[in-house]
A and B are shown apart, each in its own frame.
Chain A
Amino acid sequence: MISKEFNMQTKLFDSELKIMDVLWKNGDTTAKEIADKLKVQVGWNKTTTYTLIKRCIDKGVIERIEPHFVCHPLVTIEQTRELETTELINKMYDGAADQLIASILGRKNLTSEEIERLKQLVNSLE
């Protein structure tokens, strides 16, 4: 089995992210189970879900394991987050990560838990 090198991850659409989301939250799942879950969550029919799973496989972010068409994510949520964040920083913050942080901190709607977590994060970096 050839594992795809994670150098440049292809951009995932929202719909594909939704599939990954199920896998990230529930670990390896069969395609049928994914379809059932998403039917409830977003109202997709089976065909749609299966099409999207196939696309993810083609993009190299899902691996199909037989028997039972089990789906295994090939990228982690952290990898994807990093990808998206970098893109955001480059696109909107001139590549300066601190500007993004500043912007977040500048928002007036941080909850007390979020503030607490941030404080701990800063501490751990020192």
Chain B
Amino acid sequence: MSLINMSFSAGIFILIVTIIRLLLLYRLPKKTFLVLWGIALCRLLIPFSMSSKLSIFTIIEFLTSNYYKVDMPLTEMQIPYNGNVITEVEPILSDVKPFIYIPSTLIIWFIGLTVCALFFLITHLRYRREYKTALPIDNEFINCWKNDHLIWRCIHIRQSDKISAPLTYGIFRPVMLFPKETDWANKTQLQYILSHEFVHIRRFDTLKKLLLLTALCIHWFNPLVWIMYVLANRDIELFCDETVLKTLGEPIKSSYAMTLIGLEEKKSHMTPLINNFSKNSIEERIVSIMKMKKTSLIGALTALLIVSGATIIFATNADSTEIPVHDKKFENTTNTSTSYTEYEKYGLVYNKDNDTLHYDGKLVRYFDDSYSVDESISVGSTHYTANGKIDVYGVRILTDTLNADGTSNGGGKLTGLRVATQEKFAQLDTTNVTLSSKAPVTFGDIGTNNGNTESINDNSNNSSNSPVVGKSTVYSVYKQYAPYGMTYEVKNSSLTLYYKGQLVRHFEDILKIDKNDIKEMRKTSTDNGIVDVKAIRDSDGNLTGLRVSTLEEFNQRTTDDAISDNAVSNGTAQN
């Protein structure tokens, strides 16, 4: 997943968490928000993603799929007519520029990252240097407290005249710093401060802040990440307060709150600029402390529900495996298996999992829907399963039919399926058809004699203009026209089409026209073609035939082409 992608989808999640926080900050246990921010951090820092059918992105895709062609894998793109060359482009591996090209956005991002990182790093190191000059504390209460609260890491407690409020730093060797002006006699206050800082140490809050900072530096361009940084830091404090109160007991709420206010007053002497900003956060803390109550079971369950719900819906990616069936008519699968959907209405069922066909409940042995177009070319599809019980053949109208306006429809329309007689079933020479038991035999394979297997990625013949033909994509796209009489040939990375053996000049297939009159179509052109062919689809978008232009239409097109060619060379052509 690209960085922008990650940042954007994490941003959505952050937005949701912010809204939840706005509404339910004082009603949910503070741990909830830390878990949510943790998930946001994962989304920002870890490229791993999980997809889910309930994801908001799946829903969005589902909604937009009704308006757009949805099955556009990122490797396939349709580009407009470009000379006598194909319309499908695969990622160009052959066109390597002589120098390494770094997009300017990457450079800008890297500069931003460096600036942020340096800023935070230098500031932190400066402070660290000052903290190191702190002096030890000689206080009985504190020494006792230290002995009562031993953890595997060594905690140092010192004092400094350069700070105005107690703080903790260090991940592996935590140090608590008290300001010089601390009232050493006020044991209660000391206890609150010590407990609070101790919770920070135990929960590795310094590490959490570091992770937040890292995410911020990487995603510095995303304002939502800045919001997350601010809110998550506040939530760390709130959770700390909550834990302290749980440990020391709820009744000390007011006393604890007063201590906080007192400390905050001292702080604002030194930093008047941040006054307003921190007023908000101190307010949150006081309110949160006073409103704190024991976590009920209902509260815990609600929290769990909200976290799970928010995560599943907003923190997962779109599930791209199942697209609603009514879009399948536009499917351009890049796999090489035949689509058997058109046979379904005649009773043939294809089982994808074990690659078998069933007709009328029986397992089909040999399925043949192919016919020869030329002496050596045969088009269509076949399928073979050794232990099948019946043979099924496709039935098509092979002769041309005439339309009312005099144009002709090419033959090939599917009209039904036919089960072979017992006699024919027994007669079938199974040794000849074994090769199709794994992959269906289609015209592309049969074309070996025509030199269709020429290497496609022939770099030497490629100018920078002609995209490389992907054999599999051409194959899968053009085989659907095969039953109607069209074959293709790929030579020197360019595609040529033949209709009933005649070289096709212009081929057009209008896939869809939406309400804004935007057409989605497929076009191919070859300079010396002798027929123009248009594909015909019904109102549902299913391919029903191919139509050859009349002579008048063909000549008209010739004239049109000449005009637009002139325009191009004159520089007045419009796309």
Contact = CB atoms under 8 A, between A and B. Distances in A.
A47 to B, nearest CB: 8
Contacts of A44: 132-133
A13 B129 CA distance: 14
B133 A52 contact: yes
B136 A43 contact: yes
B248 interface: no
A42 B137 CA distance: 10
Nearest to A15: B133
A14 interface: yes
A48 B132 contact: yes
Interface string B112-138: 000000000000000001001111100
Interface string A25-66: 000000000000000001111011001100000000000000
A43 B135 CA distance: 8
Q: Which among A18, A43, A47 has the greatest number of chain B C-beta atoms within 10 A?
A: A43
Interface residues of B, number: 11
A13 B161 contact: yes
B293 interface: no
B136 A48 contact: no
Contacts of B135: 14-15, 18, 42
Q: Which among B129, B134, B136 has the greatest number of chain A C-beta atoms within 10 A?
A: B134
A51 B162 CA distance: 16
A45 B132 contact: yes
A15 B135 CA distance: 7
B180 interface: yes
A14 B163 CA distance: 12
A94 B180 CA distance: 23
Nearest to B162: A13
B133 A13 contact: yes
Nearest to B133: A15
A61 to B, nearest CB: 16
B132 to A, nearest CB: 5
A14 B132 contact: no
Nearest to A19: B133
A15 B133 CA distance: 6
A42 B129 contact: no
Contacts of B156: 43
B162 to A, nearest CB: 7
Contacts of B180: 14
Contacts of B161: 13-15
B136 A51 contact: no
Nearest to B129: A51
Nearest to A14: B161
Contacts of A18: 135
Nearest to B136: A42
A5 B134 CA distance: 30
B129 to A, nearest CB: 7
A59 B395 CA distance: 102
15 contacts: A13-B133, A13-B162, A14-B160, A15-B134, A15-B160, A42-B135, A43-B156, A44-B132, A44-B133, A48-B129, A48-B132, A48-B133, A51-B129, A51-B133, A52-B133
Interface of A: 13-15, 18, 42-45, 47-48, 51-52
Interface of B: 129, 132-136, 156, 160-162, 180
Q: Which 6 A-B pairs have the closest CB atoms?
A: A15-B133, A48-B132, A14-B161, A42-B135, A42-B136, A13-B161
Given A15-B160, A48-B129, A51-B133, 16 more contacts: A13-B133, A14-B135, A14-B160, A15-B133, A15-B134, A15-B135, A18-B135, A42-B135, A42-B136, A43-B136, A43-B156, A44-B132, A44-B133, A48-B132, A51-B129, A52-B133
